[in-house]
Amino acid sequence: MTTRGPFDLDLRHMVRGDTQMIGVWVALLALIVFGLLRYDNFGSSYNIFSFLNYNSMFIVISIGMALVIMTGGIDLSVGSVAAFTSVCAAYLSPYGIEIALPGGMAAGAAIGGVNAFCIIAMRIPPFIATLATMLGAKGGALVISGAQTVSVDWSSNFTVFGMGKAFDLVPWTILVTLLVALVAWAILEHTLLGRTILAIGGGEEASALMGLGVTRAKTFVYLFSGACAGLAGVILASGYGAGQPLEGLGWELSAIASVVVGGTLLTGGLGSIPATVAGALLLGLVFNILNFENGKGTISLSAYWQLVIRGAFLFLVILLQSQFRSRPNAPR
Amino acid sequence: MRAQGEAIRDMVGSLLRRAKGRGPFRHGGLVALVILLAFNALVTPNFLQLQTLFVNVSQVATIAIVALGMTLVIATAGIDLSVGAVMALAGATAPLIFMSAFGQAYPVTGLVLAFVVPLIVAAACGLFNGLIVSVLGVQPIVATLILFISGRGLAQLLTNGNLQTFSNPAFSYLGAGKILGLPFQGWLALALAGSIFWLVNRTAFGRCILAIGGNERAAMLAGMPIRSVKIGVYMICAVLSGIAGLIVVAINSASDAARNGNLMELDAIAAAVVGGALLQGGRAPVFGALVGAVIIQLVRYTLLANGVEDEVALIAKALIIVLAVYVQQARKE
């Protein structure tokens, strides 16, 4: 075994592990090849960038969700939190992205903090606590926005974040998403905090008895997930030029599906950030390809199909994953 | 004003004492109900009118019926997020049937089918949930998330996303009929509660439900049919949701797949928990669920009647859920 530096990007290590985690990469590759062969504009930089730009919100949310699920928890509030923070960011937009971005993320983290408090201090089951904050954040978003979309300030540099490119090359949203993925990956793979997160999912009581900082790690994952949802809200407001209090419906489902597709066990204790990103991309790609098919006229799917397909996709993944459930403590 | 304040303080104190005490939480729920009623009698204009009772009974019935099913699911330590979507699906199916050419040609058969087919569809949804939970062993919250999102999508596909309006007095009786001056669906909810109570307390199936929630492994070792009981519970919950969906459609004489049963899962969970259901399973307070549903409805009515915005009411509901679960947890420890 070769020695690795703490932040050495070892692709083999990232992809290695569960056969299932390889599965998501294979499926992703297969879909990309299929798309490249079948559609003319599939590989165009416009499609690639608009695809990544749109899906950056879901990737970011999925990363936060992945950490939560690894501890054996769940965060149903992400969609509402994103809606809430998109409104916050829209109100902060006159001060520029330097203020609106941290502000939106802080608002998201604050709701994550409420989640953590309810779950850890009040001992409320995660899905009830986050279901309640889902309602609360939705209500909050509607109250502060007056149930209207809130237009952003176009004169500041706020919309550059969601629509512009860094160095005229790569969209800012993609850069930031990559950064979030790197941070989450580094924390998970190379810090005690990350090990603790996985250990909690393996067995919370055992982890606590071993002297691991269970409370701290659980607090962290909910704060992190809240901040990720907050970032998604800022991307939403910045990319569409408005804070949207009614957005975010079903986002938690997409995030959970991406995480599960990425091979993270729903019972916690096992998971990977790169595979989660791949899962989110795979899910997005399914819709991208359906759009292309719609464009070709071979099929005609209304928007309602999206909901059905999303559910069917999750079902398929669960079916596949149920085979792996029998060995929850398999070595990574 | 002073006397009012003191009376309310006394009642809050007594609520807290009750909640801390060893008695079932549903007594705390009853106290909360009394407080809500007293508050409304004092503050809300025109509260003590027959019309108010009528409105509240007709609206609480759907919450209560779904909460009954949710109570059973929660008793097995499960949860069902798909109830609202199943309502939409069942609600969308019924008008399709009695408005079809067949339904027009044979009104009576069409009407019967308009009741039967949606409930079969609902039962199929429950079977789907139950199979994923019991056979695949997936967490109930994720298993039911599938239909939570795609069920509503299916309902919208069936109706093309359109609002279906109709005029069918016989079908509308479900939501507009009256017996002894009170809405039919109120009586229906009571009857269903009675049947579920009998099911839980007087049948082997009911014993199995409570045993699974109490300790699934022990129940399995005792030779109980875990899988079929769980599937049965999800199917009952789905059928009850289907009935609630039909009632909503009957009340409005229209089916709106996008809105029918929207956020119902929250109301139902809240009602069940406020009624004394333990999320860890093992308890199925059937009449507690009724009390819980009435409380949820009264909170909504109180806020609305006093001019509080709908959005704030959402936040209030979130707080109620958290508080109810918290009080339960505190009592358990």
In a domain, B144, yes or no: yes
A304 with B136: Cβ contact below 8 A:
no
pLDDT in tens, B170-211: 888 887 888 887 888 999 999 999 999 999 999 989 889 999
The mean per-residue pLDDT over the stretch B18-38 comes to 63
* Residue A137 Cα distances to A12, A82, A228, B18, B246, angstroms: 40, 9, 15, 31, 30
The mean per-residue pLDDT over the stretch B108-124 comes to 91
Give this prediction's pTM: 0.79
**Cβ A266 vs Cβ A327: under 8 Å:** no
User: Is the torsion defined by CA of A20, A25, A28, A33 positive or negative?
Assistant: negative
Distance CA A255, CA A64 (A): 9
pLDDT at res. B331: 67
The mean per-residue pLDDT over the stretch A185-213 comes to 87
In chain B, whose CA is at the least distance from the CA of A115? Answer: B322
Phi, psi of B178 (to 5 degrees): -135, 140
**Cβ B163 vs Cβ B256: under 8 Å:** yes
Domain of B93 in residue numbering reads as: 47-332
In a domain, B142, yes or no: yes
Distance CA A304, CA B258 (A): 10
Residues of B in contact with A139 (CB under 8 A): 311-315, 318
pLDDT band at B11, cuts 50/70/90?
low
In a domain, B78, yes or no: yes
| Chain A residues within 8 Å of chain B (Cβ atoms) | 74, 118, 122-125, 127-129, 131-136, 138-140, 142-143, 147, 250, 253, 256, 260, 266-267, 302, 304-312, 314-315, 318-319, 322, 325
Select from B91, B88, B97, B82 the least CA-distant residue to B258: B88
pLDDT in tens, B283-328: 888 988 998 899 888 888 888 888 777 778 878 878 877 887 787 7
Whether the predicted pLDDT of A237 surpasses 50 = yes
- What is this model's ipTM? 0.74
pLDDT band at A1, cuts 50/70/90?
very low
Whether the predicted pLDDT of B332 surpasses 70 = no
In a domain, B214, yes or no: yes
pLDDT at res. B6: 62
Task: Tell me which architecture the domain covering A19-26+41-321 has in CATH.
Answer: Orthogonal Bundle (1.10)
Q: Which two tokens stand for residue A192?
A: 């005690």
| Chain B residues within 8 Å of chain A (Cβ atoms) | 79, 132, 136-139, 141-143, 145-154, 156-157, 160-161, 263, 266, 269, 273, 279, 309-315, 317-319, 321-322, 325-326, 329, 333
pLDDT in tens, A79-120: 999 999 999 999 998 888 888 999 999 999 999 999 999 999
pLDDT in tens, A2-46: 444 444 444 444 444 455 567 778 888 888 998 898 888 888 888
Count of helix runs (H) and strand runs (E) in chain B: 15, 4
- Overall domain count for chain B: 1
Whether the predicted pLDDT of A76 surpasses 80 = yes
In a domain, B64, yes or no: yes
Residues of A in contact with B83 (CB under 8 A): none
A256 with B142: Cβ contact below 8 A:
yes
Residues of B in contact with A319 (CB under 8 A): 136
Q: Average per-residue pLDDT in chain A? A: 83
In chain A, whose CA is at the least distance from the CA of B158? Answer: A304
| Backbone region of residue A6 per phi and psi (left: phi > 0; alpha: psi in -120 to 50; beta: other values) | alpha
Closest Cα in chain A, distance from residue B271 (Å): 13
pLDDT band at A258, cuts 50/70/90?
confident
More confident: B177 or A142: A142
In chain B, whose CA is at the least distance from the CA of A252? Answer: B145
In a domain, B22, yes or no: no
DSSP B176-214: H-EETTEEHHHHHHHHHHHHHHHHHHHSHHHHHHHHHHH
Whether the predicted pLDDT of B242 surpasses 70 = yes
pLDDT at res. B22: 44
Nearest to A128 among B279, B309, B314 (CB): B279
More confident: B329 or A99: A99
In a domain, B323, yes or no: yes
Q: Average per-residue pLDDT in chain B? A: 84
Whether the predicted pLDDT of A139 surpasses 80 = yes
pLDDT at res. B82: 92
Whether the predicted pLDDT of A234 surpasses 90 = yes
In percent, the amount of chain A with pLDDT more than 90 equals 33
- Give the distance, in angstroms, between the CA of residue B83 and the centroid of all CA atoms in the same chain: 8
pLDDT band at B235, cuts 50/70/90?
very high
- The conformation of residue A242, written as its DSSP 8-state character, comes to E
What is the domain-level CATH number for residue B258? 1.10.3470
Select from B94, A285, B131, B21 the least CA-distant residue to B103: B94
